[in-house]
Amino acid sequence: MRKVFLAIAAIGLVAACATTPATPTNVSNALAAKAKQDIKVKLRAPDSGQFQNFRAYKIANGETAVCASVNAQNAFGGMTGFKDTVVIYRGDQHIVFFDDPAVFECANLARGTSARM
User: pTM score, two decimals?
Assistant: 0.81
- Res 2: pLDDT: 60
Domain count, the chain: 1
CA-to-CA distance for 51 and 28, rounded, in angstroms?
15
In a domain, 6, yes or no: no
16 occurs within a structural domain: no
Range 86-106 average pLDDT:
94
Give the span between the Cα atoms of 41 and 17, in whole angstroms: 34
Domain holding 99, by residue range, is 21-114
Instruction: Give residue 20's pLDDT.
Output: 86
Mean pLDDT on 57-75: 95
Please report which confidence band the pLDDT of residue 116 belongs to, taking 50, 70 and 90 as the band edges.
confident
